[in-house]
Structure 1
Amino acid sequence: MHVLITGASGFVGRRVTQALLAQGSRVTAAGRAPLPDARIAFIAADFVRDTDPAAWLPRLRGVDVVINLVGIIRERGSQRFAQLHVATPRALFAACVEGGVQGVIQLSALGADEHAATEYHLSKKAADDYLAALPLRSAIVQPSLIFGPGGGSAELFKTLAVLPLGVRLGRSPQLVQPIHIDDVAEAIVRLANSLAPAQPAAANGKAAPAPPCGSRRIALVGPEAMPLQDYLAALRRTLGLEPQRVLTLPDAAARAFAWLGSVLPGLPMDRDALRMLERGNTADPADTAALLGRPPRAVQDFMAPAQRGAERTLAQLNWLLPLLRLSIAAVWIITAYVSALVYPEADSYRLLQRTGVPSALGPLMLYGAAGLDLLLGVATLALPQRLRSPLWLAQIALIVFYSVLIAWRLPEFLAHPYGPLTKNLPMLAAIWLLYELEKGKR
């Protein structure tokens, strides 16, 4: 069976690709860059631009099954729902009909139905409905929350589960029915096998008749629906932590926080995400169990016992490292403010003179150093991770320089009861920790 996968480099795509390879299928990934696995063929494709069926038709030669796993939860830059969820999938599906592809699997979302209200759900539904109307065998899989290593939502919920204080956004139950990524991948592979061309019959060498065209919509869910806070509590128990105290925000406050998330990038919740949570994300698990031939795994079985310690540490670092970075930025920014605007200017000049700075250069050194501190603080907050390694090294070098110079020219600070120099040691260790954890990452 030859399968073409779009979104093969994503969270679900990686698992599906490996599962197909494990059963001996031929796999081709259509995307912007080849995958590192030499067993996977590559075809260049761009979901932002390839909105014409003619762009897809040549890529489908010899393909038996197409699996579309491309999706975004939020729009960013050139990644828009209209292209990635609607126009390009429709072009791909139309090309599948013209190119004689035997079957198509579309990864949708639970909630992409007649009650859909958010742009995410509506865009998924538009592609689902188009596919279902084509003269083609297809399966539209609609998973609830997917848990697994490397999943964005899984990492978010693990992090929320290990926080010392939980926050519940409003009083609605926010029902979810999480399913493990391995169950999702297995279900998709089983569907692909059911859509693949029939094998020749042994008796006469002729292929059996192909099943009639038609589309199935399958909700992929775990065995049990539960409120979101119960899901987080179950993850917390699995990670070996004591029960979490939970602060329930009034509905108005929850909506204000979600509005803020729609305005400021980086926050985990926006208005659409809150609306989807409030609506609920559940379905009958019977279809999932029938497809798998067994019940889907429960939340308490999502993480192997041997991995739980490492998972707990990683989840804790997900919130502790940003907190550490924020505190380091605050040190630089507050130091700049105190140096430039609070500490007596005359006293600052006297200290600078004792370190060897001529009086004429006092203002330049004082306000230049304050400006540099401010710049380092702002850069600590603003620079993306891939650009921060040089920043950490610059901060370490500057702190070491300040410490050595002050210890040499102002030795009384070494014996100061508040330890202004010795407190630089944990600061250096914290910055070095961030450097080691972030260097080389993209």
Structure 2
Amino acid sequence: MVILITGATGFIGRRLVATLRESGHRVIAVVRHADATEDAVSGDFTRDLDPETWVPRLAGVDVVINAVGILRERGQQTFENIHTRAPQALFSACATAGVKKVIQISALGADRGNTGYFTSKHAADEHLATLDLSWTIVQPSLIFGAGGASATLFAVLASLPVIPLPGGGRQRVQPIHIDDAVRAIKEIVETDVMHRRRVALVGPEPMSLRDLLQRLRARMQLPRARFISIPAAMMRASAAIAEHLPGSLLDRETLAMLNAGNTASPEDTRRLLGEPPRAPEQLLTDEQRHGLVREAQLAWLLPLLRISIALVWIWTGIVSLGLYPVEQSYALLARVGIAGVLAPVMLYGAAVLDLLIGIGILVLRRRRWLWLLQLAVIGGYSLIITFKLPEFWLHPYGPLSKNLVMLAAIYMLYTLEGRRWNTSS
């Protein structure tokens, strides 16, 4: 069969492309910028909002799978465009072009949720259900797999020394492994089962969020979890703040979807797979465990280290602006050859620079140049003090020797953040 897949580079889409091609199907991937060497066509859900745009791309296509989805709006990537208007245009074009089957990957709870994510998905689902063609609306629960947003979020939570639980972690979840989800969708593609139906793809059993995190932590071979319950109001306030942080997986939308619950009967999934979906203990393989544990811990350890270094710079700037006796600061500057009108310029200029570096660490998204600046500044300070004030190497509090730790920590952030940025770009 000839299968066109939108969202072909996403978490679900790229696995569907690989699996269906391995099964002998011709798969046409819809990407923003198609390469002439690829079996792909160009398409953009922020702009392609009319059926006429899609009809030419559907010539000879037997099956269309819509795997496009976003968790957070950004610029023109709105829920209305990405989840509703572009899919509706695509589905209408499928009816016009005579596509035999359309599979819409929606979300479990979309038909009863009231978040922007749910309502936008539901609007596209309802439009598809009115068309005169064969369709299946797939409603997966949390999909767990390496590289997925759900796996990343829950692995990070499970790896924390103390795990915060919104509302005590009583929310009901039923995660399904990505491989099971892809196998089930492949079965829908290749057979006539689930014709004109909404299909829930879920794991074998519902469980509480607390139970999931406890099982996941045990599978990661980490010590027994310590939980702390976070009141609902505090959790909503935290989500409102977190949604403004680059890369954050927590916002008011995801929190509301979690609180809404995410469970259903596993019967459809069992029928499609021909066996029960894998148990929660099987969501994480031995091969994936070590890498996921390391990535999960780095996901919170690196921000913790970054914030700590930022606070050092900010506090140093504040102290230099007057909390430390100015006369003593001028005396130290005089010993390194800075006196007269230049002394206040250097003192307050350095203090402002420290403050700006600290604030920059907290607010800038790309910080590689800032880590290099810090290495240069601390290295320069250390060299000057070594030659002009060598007694600081013998100070019992180690004000100069601690710079070695700062330099190592900053270089580690420079290296690891650069690697993570390149991986996500």
Per the normalisation by structure 2, the TM-score is: 0.94
1:239 match: 220
1:304-315 alignment, distance < 5 Å: 304-315=285-296
Q: Does the CA contact (< 8 Å) of 1:50 and 1:88 recur in 2?
A: yes
2:400 match: 421
Count of aligned pairs:
421
Q: What secondary structure sits across from 1:50 in the alignment?
A: coil
Deviation at 1:436, TM superposition (A): 1.4
- Give the direction of change, closer, same or farther, for the CA distance of 1:128–1:35 in structure 2 (3 Å limit): farther
**Which of 127, 132, 147 is equivalent to 1:130?**
127
**Which of 292, 316, 320 is equivalent to 2:273?**
292
1:398 match: 377
How far apart are the structure 1 equivalents of 2:239 and 2:341? 53
The aligned amino acid for 1:246 is F
Deviation at 1:259, TM superposition (A): 4.5
Deviation at 1:130, TM superposition (A): 0.8
Q: Does the CA contact (< 8 Å) of 2:3 and 2:25 recur in 1?
A: yes
2:95 match: 97
Q: Per-residue displacement from partner, 1:125-159 (whole Å, max 9, x unpaired)?
A: 11111111111111111011111111112101100
Deviation at 1:96, TM superposition (A): 0.5
2:188 match: 191
Q: Per-residue displacement from partner, 1:199-221 (whole Å, max 9, x unpaired)?
A: xxxxxxxxxxxx9x951211000
Where structure 2 has 5 or more consecutive residues not aligned to the other structure, the ranges are none
Deviation at 1:265, TM superposition (A): 6.6
2:208 match: 227
1:12 match: 12
1:348-367 alignment, distance < 5 Å: 348-367=329-348
2:109 match: 111
1:258-407 alignment, distance < 5 Å: 258-261=239-242, 267-384=248-365, 387-407=366-386
Where structure 1 has 5 or more consecutive residues not aligned to the other structure, the ranges are 196-210
Deviation at 1:341, TM superposition (A): 2.4
Per the normalisation by structure 1, the TM-score is: 0.91
How far apart are the structure 1 equivalents of 2:273 and 2:304? 42
The aligned amino acid for 1:30 is V
2:24 match: 24
Deviation at 1:382, TM superposition (A): 1.5
1:205 match: none
Deviation at 1:313, TM superposition (A): 1.6
Deviation at 1:95, TM superposition (A): 0.3
Deviation at 1:23, TM superposition (A): 1.1
Deviation at 1:173, TM superposition (A): 2.4
Q: Does the CA contact (< 8 Å) of 1:406 and 1:413 recur in 2?
A: yes
Q: What secondary structure sits across from 1:439 in the alignment?
A: helix
1:162 match: 159
- Give the direction of change, closer, same or farther, for the CA distance of 1:111–1:249 in structure 2 (3 Å limit): same
Q: Does the CA contact (< 8 Å) of 2:167 and 2:229 recur in 1?
A: yes
- Give the direction of change, closer, same or farther, for the CA distance of 1:424–1:171 in structure 2 (3 Å limit): closer
Q: Does the CA contact (< 8 Å) of 2:204 and 2:279 recur in 1?
A: yes
The aligned amino acid for 2:337 is G
Deviation at 1:274, TM superposition (A): 2.9
Q: Does the CA contact (< 8 Å) of 2:63 and 2:99 recur in 1?
A: yes
The aligned amino acid for 2:54 is W
The aligned amino acid for 2:71 is I
How far apart are the structure 2 equivalents of 1:410 and 1:341? 22
- More deviation, 343-352/407-416: 343-352
How far apart are the structure 2 equivalents of 1:359 and 1:273? 58
Deviation at 1:15, TM superposition (A): 0.9
- Give the direction of change, closer, same or farther, for the CA distance of 1:236–1:158 in structure 2 (3 Å limit): same
Q: Does the CA contact (< 8 Å) of 2:113 and 2:260 recur in 1?
A: no
- Give the direction of change, closer, same or farther, for the CA distance of 1:411–1:438 in structure 2 (3 Å limit): same
Q: Does the CA contact (< 8 Å) of 1:136 and 1:214 recur in 2?
A: no
Q: Does the CA contact (< 8 Å) of 2:330 and 2:339 recur in 1?
A: no
How far apart are the structure 1 equivalents of 2:217 and 2:35? 34
